[in-house]
Structure 1
């Protein structure tokens, strides 16, 4: 990105804006005049007079009008605790606040360009199919078919940039890694298929993980610091075998799952490890009894086991989990009995998500016992198992375990399904496919909840993942915006990017391969579906360039409930990060106009 976004550039974009801001009127009059100008620009897009703009570009003017009205609203300023308008007036008077970031001015520049129609997105698109001339019938259909072939080729070319764990090259690499790990531990090939062995050999520090996989010096240093601060850390031998041994960045997404960035460690060191800070989802406020979380009428979470064989850095429950397979992670027997009794006493509950932690590290007998108790409750119609062992420990899915799970599904009466997080095509391996097929062949549905982090956010990267897992029998379910926790800032993306991906990439795929919904999990309230404008309002731009949103509760128009004010990731910062890993920011230019 060569353009430098400043107050000077902003003031140069529109004579109308410049004259209003420099009028010398008080802030109330300036606000009124700006809103009048914005409304006029909005009204023009509905004019029956000929326009030199593409119809679809006129829609962008309307979108910007709505956003600017929200930002200039006094109520928005009160909710955000910041007045964008006051800063613009100061800048117009030559008193620009030096603490306003370039990302702040980038947002304002794009909004003014948007409302003033200073762009031509739909005159310079990669494809231009609107004008088919006088073609009709079969001729028009054949022409359109050729156009669709071009789109398909574009999508395939983009998705082919991302290799997966089923590529022969990676199968061979990981077989080599597996043999190296086994040889280094004096183990035999049969140990590799024994999930108990993997649990016994979890890497818990930089030395043990270095025995399994290549680590850079910075990665080693960060693991040492994390260990010294008591930050939970663990990687299974299987998952370590997925790492490359060259450190060239191809496996960036896999390493990011388990290796802490410096910001994460610094946040914990500075006190963010306290429960009241890190309980981002306010689970303590939505737990009516021990081990239960309830945010919706019909479904509850049952936290049966409070640890995992491998700790995901972005985990929303990192404030609860102390380490991999931590002693005492199993729910207290009396508490578990009481929690299940609570479910039995609340007939509104028809669905239970058994999670933690990862409950599938429990023994077969304990899993059977929990499922038997839940299945004995007449009003339970669906049981979900939340687990990431499909990608961290696929050998856990023995025939015995899969038979146990399948025994609790009764077609037409009770469903049992598995919910997982598959985060990258490189996690889809032959072992994963085998485990998934064992479940599917027994009638057990598998759903993927993708956490849409920076590491899966390049153009068509998530589309490649969706297409791949669907072929393995896994249905895309949700695309989660990463939790807005300070320690996981390196994993966040702008909301605009997940919307852009859903519209410009996911939408180009067949419907069955793009069934996931982009959502933002509102603390204490639950999922906010991002596809719909009516679920949120953009109310401000922070000094750092982050958009500030007013999220509406899912109960809106149903029950009285509070709103939630959430802060986004600055778009300019995100684009600069993409460029740092070799992407072109120009390919993402339309991101500024997703709100």
Structure 2
């Protein structure tokens, strides 16, 4: 915790360890208590720092877990109490967001047991966000839109749709980045919101620290009402990105060449909408050779029963641009001016 406490810019902690909820309840309670104490100490020391030199304080706590999908009975009453108690305590020292970051890959995983686990987590006052790995199976027409629709109806907000890293060992599951852009432009677009609608949705989801402001209507009902009001089949709150070392999360690329096998060579750029470590200024341009040609991908879809003609427009997608973030995923403003200094840069 000393590392986090002495970091000048840290405002978000994601607890995973593989899967945060694989920990016993007692262990998880101890971990969250340590996070709380660290955040409290950091806030206390900040009182003596002048404006412009104050360290960023903890604003968001996330637990990464896939257990909601494949072991939903893990979400028991004791765990719900731990989550609720931590939120109530941490809210009093300025933590604004409490999120279970989960991973449903297909609508088939959203069983009645999973739905009950989702309901229990939401009852503790935590939000649930979903990230999906965009495999070949997940890239079939309509698959991801149906998953968004189902999860939204249960109160889950989609976060990221990750392209599979194009390493050779991932050949079977890799879907070319052009398919991700195609899905973004031709399918996800039906869930796009105006700036005003996105602001309204943010207000519905924003964590309330004042008990009198807390709506008695559950998150799932609020989301369903919002979609019905604006005639949206689902909410396109997730960003389609590739996540790699030296790039981070980005889908800003340009096709610059082809191999003899027809595999695309892409030049990637960092996401210009977010703040990066100054270390990226020491790096050159990033090139990626995809491990599968578009033709091989379309043949694979055909073997799965898809009609490749339904994907014919994929050839025209030769560049991509990273989508803007939904405001829920932006950090709230501090009531003070934090330092611009960046710590822990040494390699």
Q: After superposition, where does 1:399-548 map in structure 2 within 5 Å?
A: 399-409=77-87, 410-411=90-91, 413-414=94-95, 415-509=97-191, 511=193, 513-528=235-250, 530=251, 535-548=252-265
C-alpha distance in 2, partners of 1:467/1:510? 13
- How many angstroms does 1:509 deviate by? 3.4
The corresponding residue for 2:36 is 375
Q: After superposition, where does 1:541-580 map in structure 2 within 5 Å?
A: 541-554=258-271, 559=278, 560=281, 561-568=283-290, 569-580=292-303
The corresponding residue for 1:594 is 317
Q: Deviations over 1:310-333 (max 9, x none)?
A: xxxxxxxxxxxxxxxxxxxxxxxx
Residues 554 and 513 from structure 1, CA distance in 2 versus in 1: closer, same or farther, beyond 3 angstroms? closer
- How many angstroms does 1:502 deviate by? 1.3
* Contact 2:65/2:103, CA 8 A, preserved across alignment: yes
C-alpha distance in 1, partners of 2:24/2:2? 22
The answer to whether residue 54 in structure 2 is matched with residue 386 in structure 1 is no
* Contact 1:553/1:562, CA 8 A, preserved across alignment: no
- How many angstroms does 1:524 deviate by? 3.5
Q: After superposition, where does 1:138-537 map in structure 2 within 5 Å?
A: 340-378=1-39, 379-409=57-87, 410-411=90-91, 413-414=94-95, 415-509=97-191, 511=193, 513-528=235-250, 530=251, 535-537=252-254
- How many angstroms does 1:555 deviate by? 6.2
Q: Deviations over 1:178-213 (max 9, x none)?
A: xxxxxxxxxxxxxxxxxxxxxxxxxxxxxxxxxxxx
**Runs of 4+ more than 6 Å apart:** 555-558
SS of 2:16's partner is: strand
Q: Deviations over 1:433-483 (max 9, x none)?
A: 000011112211000111010111111111111100111111011110012
C-alpha distance in 2, partners of 1:430/1:487? 34
Residues 524 and 355 from structure 1, CA distance in 2 versus in 1: closer, same or farther, beyond 3 angstroms? farther
Q: Deviations over 1:65-102 (max 9, x none)?
A: xxxxxxxxxxxxxxxxxxxxxxxxxxxxxxxxxxxxxx
SS of 1:464's partner is: helix
- How many angstroms does 1:360 deviate by? 0.9
C-alpha distance in 1, partners of 2:254/2:132? 24
Residues 441 and 510 from structure 1, CA distance in 2 versus in 1: closer, same or farther, beyond 3 angstroms? farther
- How many angstroms does 1:501 deviate by? 0.9
C-alpha distance in 2, partners of 1:357/1:524? 22
C-alpha distance in 2, partners of 1:474/1:344? 31
* Contact 2:188/2:236, CA 8 A, preserved across alignment: yes
C-alpha distance in 1, partners of 2:37/2:293? 49
* Contact 1:406/1:416, CA 8 A, preserved across alignment: no
Q: Greater relative contact order (Cα 8 A, min sep 6): structure 1 or 2?
A: 2
SS of 1:456's partner is: coil
More strand by share: 2
* Contact 1:521/1:527, CA 8 A, preserved across alignment: yes
- How many angstroms does 1:510 deviate by? 6.0
C-alpha distance in 2, partners of 1:444/1:488? 34
C-alpha distance in 2, partners of 1:407/1:547? 50
SS of 1:356's partner is: coil
* Contact 1:408/1:416, CA 8 A, preserved across alignment: no
SS of 1:450's partner is: strand
Q: Given the two structures, how large is their TM-score scaled by the length of structure 1?
A: 0.41
The corresponding residue for 2:54 is none
* Contact 1:522/1:564, CA 8 A, preserved across alignment: no
SS of 1:499's partner is: helix
C-alpha distance in 2, partners of 1:376/1:491? 42
* Contact 2:247/2:269, CA 8 A, preserved across alignment: no
Unpaired stretches in structure 1, ≥5 consecutive residues: 1-339
* Contact 1:364/1:401, CA 8 A, preserved across alignment: yes
- How many angstroms does 1:399 deviate by? 1.1
C-alpha distance in 1, partners of 2:302/2:120? 41
* Contact 1:391/1:422, CA 8 A, preserved across alignment: yes
C-alpha distance in 2, partners of 1:408/1:347? 24
SS of 2:171's partner is: helix
Q: Given the two structures, how large is their TM-score scaled by the length of structure 2?
A: 0.69
SS of 2:137's partner is: helix
